[in-house]
Amino acid sequence: MSIVASMRKSLVPIHPEGYPFIAGAVVIALLLFLVSTVLGMIGLGLAIWTTLFFRDPPRVTPVREGLIVAPADGVISQIGPARPPRELDLSDDPLLRISIFMNVFNVHVNRAPVTGRIERVAYKPGKFLNAELDKASEDNERNGLVLVTADMRVGVVQIAGLIARRIVSFVREGEEIGAGERFGLIRFGSRVDVYLPLGTKVQVAEGQITTAGETILCDLAAPASREATYRLS
């Protein structure tokens, strides 16, 4: 392997969605250097951060049947029963919701938790509350997917946050998608919720760090346990 090829392999890929933002940050940094070195260094730091924000590293997704993988990098902020957004037409009753909060330093490319057909894509405008708040699921701008597998329907909802002002979707209704494949991106801090049947065996805990496309959230092949069955209080 040549030195150039080795260097390219070691670099983390950048998602094309970020190119305009990176270019803009670089231009701003150059202009700030014309004003002062201090301001230029601040601008350079912003350009580096912008580049890192849009990184899109490769992931190795476990392929055993029945696994639900994390759709986002971040931390598990909530696990429990909640009614899914109405626009998904997923269920009128509470489902198991697993929420993953992404800060501004996480990878923000989102990946499908299961293999299936995209039955619904539903965008809803809204507010920009702190994505860690429970009411953000209902009040904030969001984009939801319903994925249909051979055995179930899974809801995945991208939620904007205080800083996030743009949810980008890469998919359309009727398309097939594999577990771990990219389906969207949220710019600059946000949250992703996954909705599953109550009683699903959960493999993660609140506060745990997740890696999109790799961390196993649930194992549908495992028998339901008392600890994994969530009920409304």
More confident residue, 222 or 69: 69
If we measure between CA atoms, which residue out of 67, 109, 70 comes closest to residue 214? 70
For residue 26, pLDDT over 80 is answered with yes
Annotated catalytic residue within 99, 190, 225, 233: 190
- Give the 3-state secondary structure of residue 91: coil
91 CB-near residues (< 8 Å, 6+ apart): 83, 84, 195
Q: Is 185 left (phi over 0), alpha (psi -120 to 50) or beta?
A: beta
Measured N-to-C along each axis, helices 19-35 and 37-53 cross at an angle, to the nearest 10 degrees, of 170
- Higher confidence at residue 84 or residue 161? 84
Which residues have C-beta within 8 Å of that of residue 64, sequence separation ≥ 6? Answer: 221
Q: Known catalytic residue: 190?
A: yes
pLDDT band at 4 (very low <50, low <70, confident <90, very high): very low
- For the stretch 164-207, pLDDT in tens is 557 888 999 999 999 999 999 887 668 899 999 988 889 999 99
Strand 182-186 and strand 109-111: the pairing is: antiparallel
193 neighbors 68 (Cβ within 8 angstroms): no
**Which position has the token pair 């809803």?**
124
pLDDT digits (tens, 9 = 90+) for 93-134: 999 999 999 988 898 899 999 999 999 999 888 655 554 555
